[in-house]
């Protein structure tokens, strides 16, 4: 079972190491982790995807809450908008360029760089969509993939705030 947790933390050096260390020490598995600043410059938001049953989820959330610099922890696995961004560098030649552009546009991707024999394509979406797109690109020859990891926000007016 996979869970997505949103964590509001103080924007201070060492906080990421503390969170990552906690996961390692307690034997929790991080599948992805994304961090960025928020509307307040003293706060950062982490989105962590963790695998495990409900018991593991409960422990993860409780242990995170014990960290002094962690301000709020919320399970955002359900009823959420989830997005990930990927940059893919894919090999291209005059014969398949058109095809690649077409597939990218079906995925609402954007060609953000064009070279003589490659494209860099940007795609956003949920994990399944990104995986599907990467799979489709394999046939052309993927040179590089960079994914941000998932970020997530619950639908509706309720907000994760201090």
Partner 1 sequence: MRAADAIVKALEKEGVKHIFGIPGGAIIEVYDALFDSEIRHILTRHEQAAVHAADGYARATGKTGVAFATSGPGATNTVTGIATAYMDSSPVVVMTGQVARSLIGNDAFQEADIAGITMPITKHNYLVTDEKQLLKIIKEAFHIASTGRPGPVLIDLPKDVTLADIEFDYPEKVDLMGYKPKYVGHPRQIKRAAELIMQAERPVIMAGGGVILSNATEELTKLAETIPAYVVTSLMGKGAIPETHPLSLGFVGMHGAKYANYAVQESDLIIAVGIRFSDRSTGRLSSFAPYAKVIHIDVDPAEIGKNVRVDVPIVGDAKLILRELIRFIQYKQRKEWEEKVEGWRKAYPLRYRKDDERVKPQYVIEKIYELQPDAIVTTEVGQNQMWAAQYFKVHYPRQFITSGGLGTMGFGFPAAMGAKVAFPEKTVVDIAGDGSFLMNIQELATCVDFGIAVKVVILNNMFLGMVRQWQELFYDERYSATCLRCKEMSFEKIAEGFGAIGMTVERPSEVEDTLKEAFEIDDAPVIMDFRVDRLENVYPMVPAGAALNEIIDKEV
Binding site for partner 1 (CB under 8 A): 9-10, 13-14, 17-18, 21-22, 25, 55, 58-59, 62-63, 65-71, 162
- Residue 65: CB minimum distance to partner 1, A: 7
Q: How far is the CB of 76 from partner 1 (least distance, A)?
A: 18
Query: Do 64 and 31 form a contact (C-beta atoms < 8 A)?
Result: no
The SS3 of residue 84 is strand
In terms of CB distance, is 24 or 108 closer to partner 1?
A: 24
Residue with smaller CB distance to partner 1, 21 or 36:
21
Helix axes 97-106, 127-138, angle to 10 degrees: 170
Task: Please state whether beta strands 80-91 and 142-147 pair in parallel, antiparallel, or not at all (unpaired).
Answer: antiparallel
* Nearby residues of 71 by Cβ (< 8 Å), 6 or more positions away: 8, 9, 10, 43, 162
Nearer to partner 1, 63 or 96 (CB): 63
By beta-carbon proximity to partner 1, the closer residue of 58 and 144 is: 58
Q: Alpha-carbon distance 38 to 24, whole Å?
A: 26
Smallest separation (angstroms) from partner 1 to the CB of 71 = 4
């Amino acid at each position: 079972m996979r869970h997505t947790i949103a964590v509001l933390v103080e924007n201070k050096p060492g906080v990421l190491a503390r969170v990552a260390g906690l996961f390692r020490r307690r034997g929790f598995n991080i599948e992805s982790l994304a961090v960025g600043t928020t509307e307040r410059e003293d706060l950062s938001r982490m989105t962590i995807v963790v695998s495990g049953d409900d018991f593991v989820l409960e422990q993860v959330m409780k242990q995170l809450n014990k960290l002094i610099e962690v301000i709020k922890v919320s399970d955002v696995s359900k009823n959420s908008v989830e997005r990930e961004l990927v940059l893919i560098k894919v090999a291209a030649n005059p014969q398949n360029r058109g095809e690649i552009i077409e597939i990218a546009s079906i995925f609402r991707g954007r060609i953000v760089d064009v070279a003589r024999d490659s494209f860099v394509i940007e795609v956003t979406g949920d994990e399944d969509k990104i995986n599907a797109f990467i799979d489709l690109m394999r046939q052309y020859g993927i040179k590089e993939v960079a994914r941000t990891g998932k970020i997530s926000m619950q639908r509706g007016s309720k907000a994760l705030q201090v």
